[in-house]
Amino acid sequence: MSDKSTFTNRCACGWEVSGSEDEVVDATIEHGRRIHNMEATREQVVAALHAPASGNSADEARRAG
């Protein structure tokens, strides 16, 4: 069965993206690099996407964007 999960990432600046994991990761890396001078790796973005919504585990991954 294919994974049809939809992910959303929201930057503190108000920018938001939704889509597949790959789409969200690519868009987040591009947003962080272009708008905030942030170099985030795919692993860091994936870790933040999979972090609990109400927890602080996103801080374990490098925050960006």
Partner 1 sequence: MSREPAGWDVDSPVQAEVFVVWHDGNRLQLTGPDGPQPWILQLGMTEHPVEVVDRIVRDVIGPPILVHSTSWRRDRDAVILSFVVVIDRLLVGEMASVPIARAELARSEATVAPREIATNAVVEHGLRHLAWLAKDDPVVAAELPRGWLPLLAEYVPEPFRNLG
Footprint on this chain of partner 1 (rule: CB under 8 A): 4-15, 18, 28, 32, 34-39, 48-59, 62-65
CB of 23 to partner 1, least distance (A): 13
- Give CA–CA dist 57/30, Å, rounded: 22
* 7 neighbors 21 (Cβ within 8 angstroms): yes
Which SS3 state, helix, strand or coil, does residue 51 take? coil
Nearest to partner 1 of 34, 42 (CB atom): 34
Nearest to partner 1 of 41, 57 (CB atom): 57
* 16 neighbors 10 (Cβ within 8 angstroms): yes
CB of 9 to partner 1, least distance (A): 6
